[in-house]
Structure 1
Amino acid sequence: MTPSEIFDRMRARWLAGAPTFTADMLTDDVVVETPFAAPGHPTRTAGREQVLAYTEAGRAAFPVRFDECRDVLVHQTADPSVIVVEYELVGTHVVTGVSAAAPFIGVLTTRDGRLAHWKEYQHTLAIAQALA
């Protein structure tokens, strides 16, 4: 898969309520980084099994249904295995029914058609306000 195809698959999984990744999307040594993660959450997770376990648990515990991934901009880089994506996720809190949106930027790196590195910059204040 190309970097854009992997990102398209990630978006489809978010909107389907599924964990972000499946094993066949990831390299064995994949790294997922969220430098601005909320306190108590890791900023770096490495290894296919660890990433899958973390994202599956996170999706199960996150009380938001993603309704839309909008304003998507995909920026190609000089390296064909790397893209930078800008997007906004719109979701609805499954308990309160409150809808909110938060912007994100991600840097996606592939190797041999699989995700090797995902670095996501989140607007954690917007996320925290939506969950309040």
Structure 2
Amino acid sequence: MPRTARDLVDEALRRILAKDMTGFAELWAAGGVLEFPFAAAGYPDRIEGRDAVREYLRDYNDRILPERVVASEIHDVADADRVIAEFEVAGTIVASGQPYRMRYVAVITAKNGEIAHYRDYWSPLAAAEAMGGADELMAFGNSTTATA
């Protein structure tokens, strides 16, 4: 039986905590989408395809070291292939040694046991503050081959 959206969220959070961003990207379908509806101007707002997601996440652990990942709520919705996940990632900003703490809300849609669509509602303002400024946030977003 294919993994459910809830299974995929659980596995995704485990892989983030394990600092396995390649494994995290492998949860995506070949044509899966990672979308950031609240992306800052100039930051990628949509990344299409597993390979592009992998490339986007390639340097994640060079910038942020996750030390705690906590799912506060995972909400089932009428569509059995979709969940809404509320979670927090806490860790360290590598460049500054400063603490990183970000809350996320994600809408994840599964198809055939893979992530078909991941809509990530995170705060660019909170991320910029945690990373030490807007320039650092933009460097993270623009260090990829993602399309804006």
Q: Same fold (TM over 0.5)?
A: yes
Per mean C-alpha deviation after superposition, the further-off stretch among 85-94 and 14-23 is 14-23
Q: TM-score, normalised by structure 2?
A: 0.78
Counting matched residue pairs gives: 129
How big is the shift at 1:3?
A: 0.9
CA RMSD of aligned residues (A): 1.8
* 4+ runs deviating over 3 angstroms: none
- 1:38 & 1:55 partners in 2: Cα distance? 17
- What are structure 2's unaligned runs of at least 5 residues? 133-148
Alignment of 1:10-29 (within 5 A): 10-19=12-21, 21-23=24-26, 25-29=27-31
Shift of the 45–71 alpha-carbon distance from structure 1 to 2, 3 Å rule, reads closer
- Equivalent in the alignment of 1:126: 126
- 1:60 & 1:89 partners in 2: Cα distance? 13
Higher strand share: 1
Give the secondary-structure state (helix, strand or coil) at the position aligned to 2:21. Answer: coil
- 1:22 & 1:3 partners in 2: Cα distance? 15
Please point out which of 44, 47, 50 is paired with 2:46: 44
- Taking only the aligned residue pairs, the percentage that are identical comes to 30
Alignment of 1:1-132 (within 5 A): 1-19=3-21, 21-23=24-26, 25-57=27-59, 59=60, 61=62, 63-132=63-132
Shift of the 71–108 alpha-carbon distance from structure 1 to 2, 3 Å rule, reads closer
